[in-house]
Amino acid sequence: MGSLPAERRLSVDSVCIIGAGPSGLAAAKYLLAERAFSRITLFEQRSTVGGIWNYVPLPATTPRDLAVPQTNPHAAKDEPIWEHSNAGKILGQQEKDEAAFMTPLYDRLETNIPRGLMGFSDLEWPEDCQLFPKHEAVLEYIERYAEDVQHLIRFATQVLDVQVGLDQRWTVKTQDITRYSRGKVDEQVFDAVVVASGHFNVPYIPQVPGIEGWSQAHPNTISHSKFYRKPEDYAGKKVIVVGNSASGIDIGAQIQEVCKPPLLMSSKSESFLVNDASASKCDKPPIAEYIVKDRSVRFEDGSVESGVDAVLYCTGYFYSFPFLDNLKPPVINSGERVESLYQHIFYRAQPSLAFPVLNQKVIPFPMAEAQAAVIARVFSGRLSLPSEEEMKGWEDGVKQEMGIGREFHVLKFPKDADYINMLHDWSSSAHNEQGRSALEHNGTVNADRKAEPGKVGRAPPYWGEKEYWTRERFPAIKKAFQEFGEERHSKRTLGDVGFSFEQWKSEKQEAGES
């Protein structure tokens, strides 16, 4: 990634974090460990931690944000779905309404990353957890990870607007989320903001000739993976699944078991995951045109399929931050990437604004920690940033290599592993003197319960040979896991599905390889 000249040093006393998902929680932990901030506040619009790992059943009515096509990244703020909490029954109290927000979780989702690779560095998975955890297990894991920072979180609070003032401080406007009326609007000023609200909210459904007329003539036949919940909804139907990344492969495999054969898998490139040929699945090129008559679809190879009952787009999401729409220069234009950033993290014009885990095709939890370590040390003044000109040079270099579109934030292996280790080395280069002594502040904000007395900062993860070995093989490991069928739920380790790093290492040494 090149050298990082020490030219710009921030002075931050208060930090706002937006979102209590994995990346927001990691940011909170690493900021606490710096013992340098008088105020750390984490705003979360839900009543629980976990972000997109909170499962929400599909509402009975058509979701407001399901537009066909969907090509606008500038979405309005999230609207809550109200549901009863079961806490009242457990505690013997009156039930209360709680705000839920749509997430992409579906009923039978299991991670596509083995648990040993995807976890946080300071929290082990339960021993009885399967190798590729179910989404319920992931949420429980995140809830345990959040225990140390619960006191920082303001739940049921939605961020409406974030603007930077002439003094370079950030005014954050929030609103309490209430069931029957508009909640109180509040404004607070912070020295720095961490935008950890994620990027799996605004679906992308491309503009294809005829798609709008087709959707109007055949309502509710075109959808997006954000609104997929169970394969039974597609039983006996002729189905096209568009896209072959993680969600497309997994959802397609589920639908393939119940739909009218063959399932039509439309994609523009080869998948990075294992995608075996099957008599009950037919690979097709991208859709070139929708034809209303006979519910037909023409593909780019000229072939036509008629009588199509459902088209499910697994085509990803726009980057979208509606509370930053007034930011200049903007971070969102096309929505295909976040603009004016340095190292995929820092807003170039005012680097006290940071964005963790924007990257695609990465292992998100260790990535969140590695980036949080750098963010915390930059905000505490223990790390410096290069000049704005040099930061722009970094962005221009990535644009030249990866383009200005959806590939900009993609870090395919081994780039993701190398990036995690670069962040580790960068954060580890921080000088040991704090910008301010924790003793200058009172309260519990500066007390990192995991930190050693007198020690400043948390050590982020570093990937060694085993992590690289596992990361390179995880698509094959997932395939082996899936082939056990229902028995897969008893598989806990890599060895249980036929993979051994130790054996591979021994065989490599015997062969005389370094």
DSSP-derived pairing of the beta strands 39-43 and 317-318: unpaired
In the numeric block, the tokens 């040991």 are attached to 432
pLDDT of residue 514: 58
Average pLDDT over residues 20-45: 98
CB 222 within 8 A of CB 68: yes
pLDDT of residue 31: 98
Could you give the CA distance from residue 395 to residue 331 in angstroms, rounded to a whole number? 13
Encoded tokens for 144: 């345990």
pLDDT of residue 273: 58
With bands split at pLDDT 50, 70 and 90, how would you rate the model's confidence at 433?
low
Could you give the CA distance from residue 315 to residue 108 in angstroms, rounded to a whole number? 19
**Could you read off the pLDDT of 293-323 as tens digits, one per residue?**
999 999 999 999 999 999 999 999 999 999 9
Helix (H, G, I), strand (E, B) or coil at 242: strand
Could you give the CA distance from residue 22 to residue 43 in angstroms, rounded to a whole number? 13
Cα–chain center distance at 88? 31
Beta bridge partners of 186: 174
With bands split at pLDDT 50, 70 and 90, how would you rate the model's confidence at 182?
confident
DSSP-derived pairing of the beta strands 39-43 and 153-154: parallel
**Could you read off the pLDDT of 247-289 as tens digits, one per residue?**
999 999 999 999 999 999 999 877 655 556 678 899 999 999 9
Assess whether pLDDT exceeds 70 at residue 442: no
Encoded tokens for 504: 């591979």
For 387, other C-beta atoms within 10 Å of its C-beta total 11
Between the CA of residue 160 and those of 12, 226, 480, what are the distances in Å?
A: 23, 23, 45
Helix (H, G, I), strand (E, B) or coil at 192: strand
CB 202 within 8 A of CB 75: yes
Between the CA of residue 426 and those of 121, 376, 395, what are the distances in Å?
A: 18, 12, 18
**Could you read off the pLDDT of 323-356 as tens digits, one per residue?**
999 999 999 999 999 999 999 999 999 999 999 9
Average pLDDT over residues 46-66: 85
Assess whether pLDDT exceeds 70 at residue 3: no
Average pLDDT over residues 35-58: 96
Residue 119, C-beta contacts closer than 8 angstroms, at least 6 positions apart? 125, 141, 365, 366
With bands split at pLDDT 50, 70 and 90, how would you rate the model's confidence at 84?
low
DSSP-derived pairing of the beta strands 170-176 and 185-190: antiparallel
pLDDT of residue 453: 54
Average pLDDT over residues 359-381: 97
Average pLDDT over residues 401-423: 97
**Which of 376, 414, 25, 435 has the alpha carbon at shortest distance from 196?**
25
Average pLDDT over residues 175-183: 85
**Could you read off the pLDDT of 219-252 as tens digits, one per residue?**
999 999 999 999 999 999 999 999 988 899 999 9
- The letter for the amino acid at 464 is G
Phi and psi at 127, nearest 5°, equal -60, -30
pLDDT of residue 95: 57
With bands split at pLDDT 50, 70 and 90, how would you rate the model's confidence at 89?
very low
pLDDT of residue 179: 83
Assess whether pLDDT exceeds 60 at residue 396: yes
For 340, other C-beta atoms within 10 Å of its C-beta total 20
Cα-atom radius of gyration of the chain, to the nearest Å? 24
**Could you read off the pLDDT of 92-112 as tens digits, one per residue?**
454 567 888 999 999 999 999
Higher pLDDT, 443 or 150: 150
Encoded tokens for 176: 């309490």
pLDDT of residue 492: 97
Q: What is the mean pLDDT of the chain?
A: 90
**Which of 379, 449, 371 has the alpha carbon at shortest distance from 31?**
379
**Could you read off the pLDDT of 478-507 as tens digits, one per residue?**
999 999 999 999 999 999 999 999 999 999
Helix (H, G, I), strand (E, B) or coil at 300: coil
- Whether 14-55+103-202+318-463 and 205-315 share one fold: the answer is yes
Average pLDDT over residues 114-132: 96
Assess whether pLDDT exceeds 90 at residue 455: no
Could you give the CA distance from residue 472 to residue 465 in angstroms, rounded to a whole number? 11
The hierarchical CATH code for the domain 14-55+103-202+318-463 is 3.50.50.60
pLDDT of residue 62: 64
CB 454 within 8 A of CB 401: no
pLDDT of residue 437: 34
pLDDT of residue 15: 98
Residue 51, C-beta contacts closer than 8 angstroms, at least 6 positions apart? 19, 20, 21, 22, 23, 24, 103, 142, 198
pLDDT of residue 128: 95
Look at 63-72, 152-161, 427-436 and tell me which has the smallest mean pLDDT: 427-436
Going from N- to C-terminal start, the domains of the chain cover 14-55+103-202+318-463, 205-315, 466-510
User: Angle at CA 294, nearest 5°, toward 290 and 295?
Assistant: 40
Could you give the CA distance from residue 20 to residue 185 in angstroms, rounded to a whole number? 20
The full 3-state SS of 84-131, as one line of letters, equals ECCHHHHHCCCCCEEEECCCCCCCCCECCCCHHHHCCCCCCCCCCCCC
With bands split at pLDDT 50, 70 and 90, how would you rate the model's confidence at 76?
confident
pLDDT of residue 439: 30
Helix (H, G, I), strand (E, B) or coil at 398: helix
pLDDT of residue 51: 96
Could you give the CA distance from residue 199 to residue 127 in angstroms, rounded to a whole number? 31
Look at 408-417, 452-461, 494-503 and tell me which has the smallest mean pLDDT: 452-461
CB 383 within 8 A of CB 375: no
Average pLDDT over residues 370-390: 97
CB 420 within 8 A of CB 373: no
Cα–chain center distance at 8? 29
Residue 272, C-beta contacts closer than 8 angstroms, at least 6 positions apart? 245, 361, 412, 475
pLDDT above 90 coverage of the chain, percent: 80
The CATH T-level fold of domain 205-315 is FAD/NAD(P)-binding domain (3.50.50)
Helix (H, G, I), strand (E, B) or coil at 26: helix
pLDDT of residue 495: 97
Average pLDDT over residues 36-56: 97
